[in-house]
């Protein structure tokens, strides 16, 4: 447990400090790409929780170049963090969905920015054709690379409810293709999806614990304006996870995750002006503190119950 400093889990910050020898900060970028679940290739409208900005509500302005976005966001981050090292994070929508030469240009532009020591590329499991996988493999040979794969739930029934547009088997194939090329892979999981019980959420956690991933991001379901989820909630509200219930689930999932998995996120972000519910999502540091306190109170830690 002491291997992670003052945390009882393998935090993203601790991992990066050990890898690079100092603080490294992500710069969230918006490449202006789209998604096959929006453009009609596999579906329209996207996942029911996805707002018009995709997952990049806090990322850059897609009307600006990658270079310009990086300069603008990097300047803001300098006032908060005393570091000159950055990971360029392609966050909004599906960032391996497009012509491979165009994608290569985006990635190369990001790598050319001052202080960039690596890339994080968020995408969907169904957006990794062979030519893109080859590009990612080449990048992985020359820079520090993570690919983030959205799974959200290991249950196909839930994936259909949220209009995910792919099944678990698709995720497994994408993960196998990335792992065969030695590419670090981070999976996204959402707690509190419609119709899922705590037992089912824990089952997804156990599935990811054994999937062979190198990183994980945990999020609570939160409802954003201008989404199908918001329309569903207005029409027939249902109980969302409380902060206490979320903290409990996170602590239980951490205990079953292998200690080498990097915990890249334990709670999500949502701009106040776009958030419908739950309100506690806006208190990020309070949620993180609650997780730390619960781990200490129960004397548990990441990997304590890993199989």
| Candidates 3.20.20.70, 3.40.50.720, 1.25.40.10, 3.40.50.300; CATH matching 2-297 | 3.20.20.70
The arithmetic mean of pLDDT across residues 75-104, rounded, is 91
pTM of the model: 0.95
Give the residue ranges of DSSP H helices in 51-127.
Answer: 66-78, 100-111
Calculate Rg over the CA atoms of the chain: 18
The arithmetic mean of pLDDT across residues 178-207, rounded, is 97
Whether the predicted pLDDT of 53 surpasses 90: no
The arithmetic mean of pLDDT across residues 38-63, rounded, is 80
Whole-number Å distance between alpha carbons of 250 and 124: 23
Neighbours of 239 (CB within 10 A): 8
**What's the helix, strand, coil split of the chain in %, to 5?**
40, 20, 45
Dump pLDDT digits (tens) for 196-231: 999 999 999 999 999 999 999 999 999 999 999 999
Whether the predicted pLDDT of 51 surpasses 90: no
The arithmetic mean of pLDDT across residues 193-198, rounded, is 96
Whether the predicted pLDDT of 57 surpasses 60: no
What residues does each domain of the chain span?
A: 2-297
């Amino acid at each position: 447990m002491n291997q992670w400093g003052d945390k009882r889990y393998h935090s993203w910050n601790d991992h990066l400090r050990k890898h690079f020898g100092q603080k490294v900060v992500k710069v969230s970028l918006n490449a202006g790409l789209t998604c096959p679940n929006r453009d009609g290739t596999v579906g329209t409208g996207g996942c029911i929780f996805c707002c018009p900005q995709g997952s990049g509500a806090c990322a850059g302005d897609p009307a600006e170049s990658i270079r310009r976005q990086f300069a603008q966001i990097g300047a803001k981050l300098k006032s908060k963090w005393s570091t000159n090292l950055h990971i360029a994070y392609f966050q909004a929508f599906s960032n391996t969905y497009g012509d491979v030469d165009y994608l290569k240009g985006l990635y190369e532009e990001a790598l050319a920015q001052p202080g960039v020591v690596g890339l994080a590329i968020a995408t969907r499991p169904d957006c990794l054709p062979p030519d893109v996988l080859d590009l990612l493999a080449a990048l992985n040979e020359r820079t520090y690379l993570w690919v983030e794969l959205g799974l959200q739930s290991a249950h196909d029934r839930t994936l259909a409810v949220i209009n995910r547009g792919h099944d678990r088997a698709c995720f497994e194939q994408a993960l196998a293709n990335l792992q065969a090329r030695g590419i670090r892979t981070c999976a996204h999981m959402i707690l509190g999806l419609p119709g899922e019980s705590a037992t089912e959420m824990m089952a997804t956690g156990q599935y990811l614990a054994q999937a062979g991933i190198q990183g994980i991001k945990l999020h609570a379901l939160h409802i954003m304006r201008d989404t199908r989820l918001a329309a569903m909630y207005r029409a027939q509200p249902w109980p969302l996870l409380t902060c206490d219930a979320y903290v409990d689930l996170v602590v239980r999932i951490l205990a079953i995750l292998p200690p080498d998995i990097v915990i890249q996120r334990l709670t999500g972000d949502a701009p106040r002006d776009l958030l419908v519910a739950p309100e506690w999502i806006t208190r990020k540091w309070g949620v993180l503190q609650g997780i730390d306190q619960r781990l200490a109170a129960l004397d548990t830690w990441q990997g304590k119950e890993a199989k």
